[in-house]
Structure 1
């Protein structure tokens, strides 16, 4: 199933670069960057260390210590495939491993047919496929595999009470934490269920207390190798009966170690980020600035309708309802499966916390629908009264038909799920060329969606990316892209230099920051104070005057892709507010039309939006207004941009831009028309004292800051 996408786009050139498929998730490029840098540092070339020092720069945020990067680098080192092939196909291989613990759990429940059906279903269910398909190179490729392995080890530990499962459970937690540091909440939920089980049903069993103790030690918020050493030492102690009298002392020490290492803090932070969230966040110290929170713009963290919720877990609403009923019935018939509730609970959190969580409910509800199928088949055989080989044939035939029925909606989704790669080949060519022109310590200004791929392909630094995109760091970048060129250029120089200065301060005063809990203010607040203002709004106005800028330490480039047209309104949200009180300003007018229709006299740009070709009057619903300008852009055979600008009515605030080669109309107000993004990317009207063009491609344009 995961190869369907590969077959569909095998000959589609825009999804290939250097003869290789590109990945289709933005976040994958951060792990690819870390793996690339690790490989450059472990090359057999005698100058590899020097090369690594040049390739991996201070403050470049390359995740060379992350598990995904390290595992990828390991595979790239030992396997005879290209780096691009490995990162593209790794999700296919690792994601499919979820079938192994599912089968092992079913073995404990003595129902292998159920396990086989559940494995088939879970491995291709809607949301699980989406996040483990070919090219979806991200931590999700093991984020479900590892907790399902943890569920298996817990079930077998409780059922068999064998010492080996104490160690397996602890090691699974260690690996899970290494792979995905945000695994705290799920691990703690498993721990809580085991604690409840022990206190209610198994208070006299020393084994359950051993399991609790070794889990808590594995969950401590300290270095993984230290935890591994502690786990091995405690496991050895538990193997010696003479030390059983110290069991509760060890358990108490484990609880104390967990709490004092800050074990609960990450759980609260995740709940705060995904459940208890606000539109605007404020800094509690200093000037008390207010910023727009990024979680409100991340689709996977938003609330979802029931239909989407059900489809992503089971492929259809009908199958979801049957799966839920089967899961509840399975819990009744096999109470040991109550330990799967943390996975189900986290999956159901998607209903309020965002669609990204649905993936956790997939394997447990797969057990539910599989159990229903096996029960139906068994009851049917009992009703018709056949026995022996004939009964088995009929039972297997019925299970096969029902299984194909529940798999079909998920197959249809996979067949239709034709997601694009993150960038097209033309866009990557621009970044590849930029990497040859820019220094590795230079910065590239662009929106956070493109931060990781920019760093991977151009090997430069970025101000924002998929992990560094809080409201306070997004504000300056949003300001640069949506304000006029003078203000944007000055903010770019300021933000880059302040970013580097903050990194240096944090490195040189690390101990002092920790000991005295010093507050590191956002760049924009520090700028406000340094320039003698107490009101950040007033400081921002001063950028239009002749202020003294910091000394230039590196070059700054603006990477402006055409695709950003689609998210421009979202980009504006982060800087279009009063920082002193958090009040949102009037949203700029911005409308994109690609499915327009020309009837000769009028162009229909959207529902109830028409442009009269004779007098260039714009009809918006029941209102007809004049436009300020009509601009047509087009490329000649040499791919040089030309523009025809027709001034219509200076009293109007609305402009219409027809980008003929893109088959796109833009309707924008005057402020948006004068924004740096529109002027530089759409119109190539750049202030020669502030910017110089570096790469002018239809897919993306790059300008170098001159101040």
Structure 2
């Protein structure tokens, strides 16, 4: 490359990076929140709270690493344990550590020159990593086409909406690595394949393996890319062998890549990662072949929005303009490759093997979308690369027209082709930039001052052994800021650890724990109006975790029966429960006492409940899973709807179909009269009965401007009392309250 070419390349790389970085920085303005309310969503550093609460999990692990040199809380029998998550008993520390290592390194470098809190470093890191994907995409596509097509690829990669959202400041999660490392892996691998120099083949093979190693310690799904490359290569080798073509070089590259990757992963990350390389596909097939791998427990994962199957509209909005550009690009590239003259003229450096892989990459990505919208990340790279190559073809064809005698327009306008080429870049770049700019209003921090202050209050006013019970989505925040153990958190049933549990002795109960069973019990406690049962469940979970129902399960050999028994005894005192176990369920005295030691502990661990206004929107799932029918293995039909109240003159109407005439004193929901109307204003609750034959209640919370329709069955449930009404119950009293957040305690003697 000439000095001029090097200068142009450096300039374009800087532009691509700055485009991605500046756009991401703009998201910190939280423009979707009124100016006078922004301070409520900003921390002590003047930055918005993290958008994704999983960020606080990575923050806590980084704190651990800085504090004592490993990411777990402690080491038990040679294994790191996390004693904050899924407690008791906690979980073996099984998490890709690269995000911790990288953040620690950057934190130490930054603090050589300033005194910057770790939380600030964590906040800003994604804004620097995300744009690097555009730089890699530029260099990758430049391998096959001109600078214009490569620039398009770079800009589209760094502004791909779904990836952009997950790499803004305040989204401190492993998603930031899920494009940059796959690009490096594939790029280096095919550089090795295309190289005719043995030293370069070895160099690029090793670089590809090293990139895969970094990916393996960055994301637990790295195995899918490993299989994609290896299985594709094997198929291509077989195809070439059948057609009597030379396969020796490709064999060496694939073998070297596979062996190098596996050896480095074992050395740096342990043998379990290699074991899961072979067991994870089996788990995937089981998941595809089963509607619920947790049967008979409810599958809590269906409530996770990013694991829901995306609509076509969602996919297009997540990929951006590259969705159409990529598909059209595949067609155009194929058209060029099948014509030898066109291939030599326009895509001389592209091979059929790379095109086939790129197409397979996209197809596999589309199939992966059946497992959830988060896998949009898998289809972004191949579609963007294809779009960039297509844009390069547009410019290349333009150069032909420039030299054609049929188009005199270019004769006296020598700069016109360059101007049109720049316009082509802008035709792709402007919609991409406008698309992500339009998304700024959707950035709302995952927490606020109320919840943050509640965490600090818990940290200062509760004992270290206190367990926090709340909705799983807030768990990582509580463990990091309140520094207390939680019953469950954003890792839910630790599904990603299933492939390794049979090979790791630390998982004493194998696939039975951790699991989604704990979520059922928590939701059951919130769903019921039997507060004695709720307290019994909370005491069992907070003190002994899953051991109580796992022990009973060993005796009944029937999980459905186990759930029935526990629902009948957890609301009783220990003596009453003993009688029921022996007389009604025919356990012998020793078995019954063993079970009760775990379900009715003599010295229960202290716990607090934390409720927030954010839980209101999740009430449907609380009631759905909490009322799970284990015989039918399905939830009941639940009536639950949340909306916003609008007040005009003497009328209340809401976004979810509630209409109330203040003069007439009547209220309806979608034209139907409720059983009762509950009005909450200035923390005072008034209840009016309307139709005894109706099966739903209306709750109008003037204080929060929310309207809720809830199934009549749950009008006295713990969830309704503590979350929807924030009212004192018989056994639960607030010990801390700050607008949207309440911390509750209970008396064990109630």
> How high is the TM-score relative to the length of structure 1?
0.81
For the residue of structure 2 that corresponds to 1:467, the secondary structure is: coil
- Equivalent-residue separation in structure 2 for 1:582 and 1:500 (angstroms): 20
Distance 1:555 1:8, change over 3 A: closer
Q: Does 1:555 align with 2:615?
A: no
For the residue of structure 2 that corresponds to 1:633, the secondary structure is: strand
Equivalent pair of 1:557/1:703 in contact (CA under 8 Å): yes
- Equivalent-residue separation in structure 1 for 2:687 and 2:376 (angstroms): 50
Distance 1:347 1:55, change over 3 A: closer
Write out per-residue CA displacement over residues 271-307 of structure 1, whole angstroms, 9 at most, x where no aligned residue.
544x4451x4455xxxxxx122133222222222223
Counterpart of 1:671?
A: 713
Counterpart of 1:569?
A: 620
For the residue of structure 2 that corresponds to 1:632, the secondary structure is: strand
The CA deviation at 1:404 is 1.6
Distance 1:171 1:533, change over 3 A: closer
Counterpart of 2:536?
A: 490
The CA deviation at 1:131 is 1.7
Q: Does 1:306 align with 2:312?
A: yes
- Equivalent-residue separation in structure 2 for 1:457 and 1:259 (angstroms): 31
For the residue of structure 2 that corresponds to 1:96, the secondary structure is: helix
For the residue of structure 1 that corresponds to 2:703, the secondary structure is: helix
Counterpart of 2:523?
A: 478
- Equivalent-residue separation in structure 2 for 1:391 and 1:441 (angstroms): 78
The CA deviation at 1:149 is 0.2
- Equivalent-residue separation in structure 2 for 1:583 and 1:656 (angstroms): 26
Counterpart of 1:517?
A: none
Distance 1:355 1:449, change over 3 A: same
Task: Give the unaligned 5+ runs of structure 1.
Answer: 44-52, 230-256, 284-289, 503-520, 636-640
Equivalent pair of 1:326/1:368 in contact (CA under 8 Å): no
Match of 2:465 among 437, 441, 449: 441
Distance 1:679 1:530, change over 3 A: farther
Residues 297-336 of structure 1: pairs in structure 2 closer than 5 A: 297-315=303-321, 318-319=324-325, 321-326=327-332, 328=334, 333=347, 334=350, 335=352, 336=354
User: 561-570 or 395-404, which moves further after superposition?
Assistant: 395-404
Equivalent pair of 1:498/1:523 in contact (CA under 8 Å): no
Equivalent pair of 2:81/2:90 in contact (CA under 8 Å): no
Residues 112-511 of structure 1: pairs in structure 2 closer than 5 A: 112-160=147-195, 161=198, 162-201=201-240, 204-220=246-262, 224-226=265-267, 261=275, 263-273=277-287, 275-278=288-291, 280-283=292-295, 290-315=296-321, 318-319=324-325, 321-326=327-332, 328=334, 333=347, 334=350, 335=352, 336-341=354-359, 343-385=361-403, 393-417=415-439, 418=441, 419-469=443-493, 470-484=515-529, 485-499=531-545
Equivalent pair of 1:323/1:366 in contact (CA under 8 Å): no
Equivalent pair of 1:217/1:258 in contact (CA under 8 Å): no
Distance 1:394 1:561, change over 3 A: same
Counterpart of 2:124?
A: 89
Distance 1:79 1:652, change over 3 A: same
Equivalent pair of 1:304/1:350 in contact (CA under 8 Å): no
Counterpart of 1:32?
A: 59
Counterpart of 1:14?
A: 40
Q: Over the residues paired in the alignment, what is the CA RMSD in angstroms?
A: 3.5
The CA deviation at 1:415 is 1.7
The CA deviation at 1:613 is 3.5
How many residues end up aligned between the 2 structures? 633
- Equivalent-residue separation in structure 2 for 1:8 and 1:263 (angstroms): 41
Residues 677-696 of structure 1: pairs in structure 2 closer than 5 A: 677-688=719-730, 690-696=731-737
- Equivalent-residue separation in structure 2 for 1:60 and 1:425 (angstroms): 28
- Equivalent-residue separation in structure 1 for 2:155 and 2:411 (angstroms): 25
Counterpart of 2:681?
A: 634
Distance 1:534 1:658, change over 3 A: closer
- Equivalent-residue separation in structure 2 for 1:666 and 1:101 (angstroms): 48
Write out per-residue CA displacement over residues 359-417 of structure 1, whole angstroms, 9 at most, x where no aligned residue.
22223222222222222223233224379998873333222212222223322222222
Write out per-residue CA displacement over residues 624-661 of structure 1, whole angstroms, 9 at most, x where no aligned residue.
x3533x433233xxxxx333344566665543332221
The CA deviation at 1:448 is 1.2
Distance 1:554 1:389, change over 3 A: farther
Q: Bigger relative contact order, structure 1 or 2, given CA contacts below 8 A and separation 6+?
A: 2
- Equivalent-residue separation in structure 2 for 1:313 and 1:592 (angstroms): 30
The CA deviation at 1:323 is 4.3
User: 176-185 or 19-28, which moves further after superposition?
Assistant: 19-28
Distance 1:182 1:670, change over 3 A: same
The CA deviation at 1:32 is 1.1
Equivalent pair of 2:213/2:261 in contact (CA under 8 Å): yes
The CA deviation at 1:318 is 4.9
Equivalent pair of 1:38/1:64 in contact (CA under 8 Å): no
Equivalent pair of 1:114/1:367 in contact (CA under 8 Å): no
- Equivalent-residue separation in structure 2 for 1:171 and 1:42 (angstroms): 24
Counterpart of 2:685?
A: 643
> How high is the TM-score relative to the length of structure 2?
0.76
Task: Give the unaligned 5+ runs of structure 2.
Answer: 1-22, 71-79, 339-346, 494-514, 576-599
The CA deviation at 1:679 is 1.0
Equivalent pair of 1:331/1:338 in contact (CA under 8 Å): no
- Equivalent-residue separation in structure 1 for 2:161 and 2:336 (angstroms): 22
- Equivalent-residue separation in structure 1 for 2:60 and 2:268 (angstroms): 28
Equivalent pair of 2:151/2:425 in contact (CA under 8 Å): no
Q: Does 1:74 align with 2:105?
A: yes
Equivalent pair of 1:535/1:580 in contact (CA under 8 Å): no
Counterpart of 2:636?
A: 585
- Equivalent-residue separation in structure 1 for 2:558 and 2:402 (angstroms): 87
